[in-house]
Amino acid sequence: MALLQISEPGASAEPHRHRLAIGIDLGTTNSLVATIRNGLAVCLPDEEGRALLPSIVRYRADGGIEVGRRAVAQQAVDPRNTIVSVKRFMGRGIRDVTHIEAMPYIFEDTPGMLRLRTVQGSKSPVEVSAEILRVLRARAEVSLGGELIGAVITVPAYFDDAQRQATRDAARLAGLEVLRLLNEPTAAAVAYGLDNAAEGVYAVYDLGGGTFDLSILRLTHGVFEVLATNGDAALGGDDFDHRLFCWILDRARIAPLSIEDASHLQMKARATKELLTTCDEVPIKLKLDSGEEIDVLITRAEFAEMTRPLVHKTLGLTRRALRDAGLAVSEIKGVVMVGGATRMPHVQRAVAEFFGQEPLINLDPDKVVALGAAMQANALAGNHGANDDWLLLDVIPLSLGLETMGGLVEKIIPRNSTLPVARAQDFTTFRDGQGAMAFHVVQGERELVADCRSLARFELRGIPPMAAGAARIRVTFQVDADGLLSVSAREASSGVEASVKVQPSYGLSDDEIADMLKAGIERAGDDMAARALNEQRVEAERLIEATLRALASDGALLDAKERAAIDSAIDALRALCAGADTRALGVGIAALARATDEFAARRMDRAIRGALAGHKIEEI
Partner 1 sequence: MDLTVDFFTLFRLPRTFRIDLAELDARYLEIQSQVHPDRHVRAGEGERRLSMQWAARANEAYLTLKKPLERARYLLSLAGRDPEIERNTIMEPEFLMEQMEWREAVQEARQGGDHHELERLHHRLRLDLKKHHAELASLLDDRQDYAAAAGLARRLMFLEKLLAEIDKTLAELEDGMDN
- Residues acting as catalytic residues: 25, 87, 184, 206
387 binds partner 1 (CB under 8 A): no
Question: Residue 254: how many CB atoms within 10 A of its CB?
Answer: 17
The bridge status of strand 178-183 relative to strand 150-155 is: parallel
Binding pattern for the stretch 165-204 against Mg ion, x by CB under 5 A and - elsewhere: ----------------------------------------
Q: Which stretch binds ligand ATP (CB under 6 A): 36-44, 197-205, 272-280, 536-544?
A: 272-280
E strand or H helix at 185, and its extent? helix 184-196
* Residue with smaller CB distance to Mg ion, 27 or 112: 27
Backbone angles phi, psi at 211, to 5 degrees: -140, 155
Measuring CA to CA, how many Å separate 13 from each of 315, 378, 551, 554? 51, 19, 11, 13
Task: Supply angle C-alpha 375, 378, 380, rounded to 5.
Answer: 110
The DSSP 8-state label assigned to residue 328 in this structure reads -
* Residue with smaller CB distance to ligand ATP, 270 or 453: 270
190-229 binders of partner 1 (CB under 8 A): 223
222 binds Mg ion (CB under 5 A): no
Q: Which does 524 bind (CB under 5 to 8 A by kind): Mg ion, ligand ATP, partner 1, none?
A: none
- Is residue 56 within 8 A of residue 65, CB to CB? The reply is no
Which residue intervals of 364-465 are DSSP H helices?
A: 368-380
17-46 binders of ligand ATP (CB under 6 A): 27-30
How many whole angstroms separate alpha carbon 491 and alpha carbon 499? 12
Q: Among 68, 91, 175, 340, which residue sits at the site for ligand ATP (rule: CB under 6 A)?
A: 340
Shortest Å, Cβ 25 to ligand ATP: 6
The DSSP 8-state label assigned to residue 419 in this structure reads S
Q: Which does 344 bind (CB under 5 to 8 A by kind): partner 1, ligand ATP, Mg ion, none?
A: ligand ATP
Backbone angles phi, psi at 112, to 5 degrees: 85, -105
Q: Which does 597 bind (CB under 5 to 8 A by kind): Mg ion, partner 1, ligand ATP, none?
A: partner 1
Q: Among 276, 392, 441, 452, which residue sits at the site for partner 1 (rule: CB under 8 A)?
A: 392
How many whole angstroms separate alpha carbon 125 and alpha carbon 133? 12
Q: Among 292, 480, 512, 567, which residue sits at the site for partner 1 (rule: CB under 8 A)?
A: 480
27 binds Mg ion (CB under 5 A): yes
Binding pattern for the stretch 177-196 against partner 1, x by CB under 8 A and - elsewhere: --xx----------------
Q: Among 9, 146, 283, 309, which residue sits at the site for partner 1 (rule: CB under 8 A)?
A: 309
486 binds ligand ATP (CB under 6 A): no
Which residues on adjacent β-strands are paired with residue 106? 117
424 binds partner 1 (CB under 8 A): no
Burial bucket for residue 410 (CB in 10 Å: 0-12, 13-18, 19+): middle
The single-letter code of the amino acid at 387 is: N
Task: Supply angle C-alpha 199, 203, 204, rounded to 5.
Answer: 110
Q: Residue 29: how many CA atoms within 13 Å on its side-chain side? A: 19
Shortest Å, Cβ 274 to ligand ATP: 4
Binding pattern for the stretch 224-243 against ligand ATP, x by CB under 6 A and - elsewhere: ------------xxx-----
Burial 69-108 (b: 16+ CB within 10 A, else e): eebbebbbebbbbbbbbbbbbbbbbeebeeeeeebbbeee
Shortest Å, Cβ 164 to partner 1: 15
How many whole angstroms separate alpha carbon 185 and alpha carbon 158? 10
Q: Among 200, 283, 316, 433, which residue sits at the site for partner 1 (rule: CB under 8 A)?
A: 316
Shortest Å, Cβ 149 to partner 1: 8
How many whole angstroms separate alpha carbon 26 and alpha carbon 209? 11
* Residue with smaller CB distance to partner 1, 40 or 617: 617
- Is residue 555 within 8 A of residue 505, CB to CB? The reply is no
Q: Which does 186 bind (CB under 5 to 8 A by kind): ligand ATP, Mg ion, partner 1, none?
A: none
User: Do you know the residue count of the chain?
Assistant: 620
Q: Among 381, 437, 441, 487, which residue sits at the site for partner 1 (rule: CB under 8 A)?
A: 381
208 binds Mg ion (CB under 5 A): yes
* Residue with smaller CB distance to ligand ATP, 78 or 241: 241
The DSSP 8-state label assigned to residue 288 in this structure reads -
210 binds ligand ATP (CB under 6 A): yes
Q: Which stretch binds partner 1 (CB under 8 A): 32-40, 250-258, 496-504, 541-549?
A: 541-549
The DSSP 8-state label assigned to residue 358 in this structure reads -
Nearest by Cα to 172 from 553, 574, 512: 512
Q: Residue 413: how many CA atoms within 13 Å on its side-chain side? A: 28
158-187 binders of ligand ATP (CB under 6 A): 184
Shortest Å, Cβ 370 to Mg ion: 9
Q: Which does 601 bind (CB under 5 to 8 A by kind): partner 1, Mg ion, ligand ATP, none?
A: partner 1
* Residue with smaller CB distance to partner 1, 112 or 444: 444
Nearest by Cα to 485 from 163, 233, 229, 175: 163
Write out the residues near Mg ion by the rule CB under 5 A: 27, 208
Write out the residues near ligand ATP by the rule CB under 6 A: 27-30, 55, 87, 184, 208-211, 236-238, 270, 273-274, 277, 339-341, 343-344, 366
